[in-house]
Structure 1
């Protein structure tokens, strides 16, 4: 029983459980945003009626194919994906790019083998080519 208790109390499992709960709540929030704001906006742009394809179907050799519900779910997925992209992914990427530009370069390319090597390196660790020495800021030249 103690092994099961250790398994349940591991940090990864707790973090995963929190992520699932937050993800489910975020999904509900985005779905409500799409249902209550975006879909009526689409209806207003397309002439005042909300798109509903659930009655669309066709029959082939006596078999009935109700594809309209699939179209509704596909459109809902595309709208949710677009909303998440425009309201979450793009702003987060811009926010993270602010921190990326302030990072100081710590590596350079080897002119012989194009491997990434430390800036202060005098010899490439991959191809052992001698490199021109570039003084590192804060150290006196040799």
Structure 2
């Protein structure tokens, strides 16, 4: 059981996923700061309280007035939409274009030439040439 867990942890996919989560969290903080510092004040100029995060709708109750924090909900939605928009245009859209181009090349029969390893004969020729240089 421990051996299986060790193999799972040392797989590249788990490490990649961990890195993606950390970068995603940092990316989320940047987007939240952008929305809180720029977008929310602009939207807040059009709400009664002047600050989107502090915009509440009072609801009279039996004993006290309850305040629904509608501004905080709208702010969270704006943050979500901004994050989704940036992720789409920065990551998803370019990757989809790359895949489309690659699929079009494969459909057209264009094979991408990857540099292969040298043959045994080519290696022997290179070794011979290096040995001759060392002698001379």
TM-score (norm 1): 0.52
Offset at residue 95 of structure 1 (A)? 3.4
Task: Find the aligned partners of 2:17 and 2:46 in 1 and give their Cα distance.
Answer: 41
Offset at residue 45 of structure 1 (A)? 4.7
Offset at residue 101 of structure 1 (A)? 5.4
Task: Check the 8 A contact 2:41/2:51 in 1, yes or no.
Answer: yes
Q: How do residues 25-36 of structure 1 correspond to structure 2 at under 5 angstroms?
A: 25-36=26-37
Task: Find the aligned partners of 1:2 and 1:58 in 2 and give their Cα distance.
Answer: 61
Unaligned runs of 5+ in 1: 107-118, 120-135, 138-142
- Could you say if the C-alpha distance between residues 21 and 77 of structure 1 is closer, same or farther in structure 2, counting changes exceeding 3 Å? same
Task: Find the aligned partners of 1:94 and 1:41 in 2 and give their Cα distance.
Answer: 28
Q: Which has the higher contact order (CA 8 A, sep 6+)?
A: 2
Partner of 1:68 in structure 2?
A: 68
Q: How do residues 4-43 of structure 1 correspond to structure 2 at under 5 angstroms?
A: 4-43=5-44
Q: Does 1:89 align with 2:88?
A: yes
Q: Normalized per residue, which structure has more helix? A: 2
Moved over 6 A (4+): none
TM-score (norm 2): 0.54
Partner of 2:128 in structure 1?
A: none
Number of equivalences: 106
RMSD: 3.7
Task: Check the 8 A contact 2:47/2:55 in 1, yes or no.
Answer: no
Partner of 1:130 in structure 2?
A: none
